[in-house]
Structures are given as structure tokens and as C-alpha cells.
Amino acid sequence: MNSFIIFSLKNFSNRFIIALFVAEYEKNKLKIDTMNTLMKSLGIVILLIGVGILVFTAFTGLRSNAALAAGLIAIIVGFLAHIFLNKKFE
């Protein structure tokens, strides 16, 4: 009888540990899914920053080549990042 109680307690503790592991895994899986979603949209964010630079230069009348080149480079990098990141995290 005593060995049955010890076996039952071991079985309960193993199930409890497994339940904690599963709960922690699900919590981390949610974080990973959120990070993958953010990585997919990183290219769009970079692209929008480039568009923002070009809009800023258009409305302020600032026509320096450096600002226009920075906007163009940000748009191209954002476009390429969007393509590659969506392929990688698909």
C-alpha cells in the first residue's frame, strides 16, 4: 500500500511538471508567433520610413540629393526586406 501511494505521488508530480512545461511552451510559442509577424512587417515599416522621408522633403521644399537618396534607398531596402522576410518566415 505504501508503494502505491509513492507511485501515485510520483505520477502526479510528473503530470504536474509536464503540465507546467506545456503551459510554458504555449506561452513561448505565442511570443515566437508574434515575433514572426513583426519580422514579416519589418520590410513594410522600412518602406514607409522611406516614403515619409520623401514626403517630408516634398512638403518642406528641401531638395537635397542626400535626403532624396536616403528616401530612395530606404524604399528599395524595405521592398527587398519585405520579399526576403516573407519568404523566410512563411
Q: Three cell numbers at 73?
A: 534607398
With vertex at residue 37, the alpha carbon angle to CA 35 and CA 81, rounded to the nearest 5 degrees, is 100
Based on the domain organization, do 45 and 81 belong to the same domain? yes
The whole-angstrom separation of Cα 67 and Cα 77 is: 15
Based on the domain organization, do 3 and 19 belong to the same domain? yes
Based on the domain organization, do 3 and 26 belong to the same domain? yes
Q: Per residue in 5-38, pLDDT tens?
A: 444 545 555 566 666 666 666 666 666 667 777 7
Based on the domain organization, do 24 and 60 belong to the same domain? no
How many structural domains is the chain composed of? Answer: 2
What pLDDT does 63 receive? 79
* Residue 68: domain span: 41-90
Q: Per residue in 31-86, pLDDT tens?
A: 666 777 778 888 899 999 999 999 999 899 887 899 999 999 999 999 999 999 88
pTM for the predicted model, two decimal places = 0.63
Based on the domain organization, do 47 and 27 belong to the same domain? no
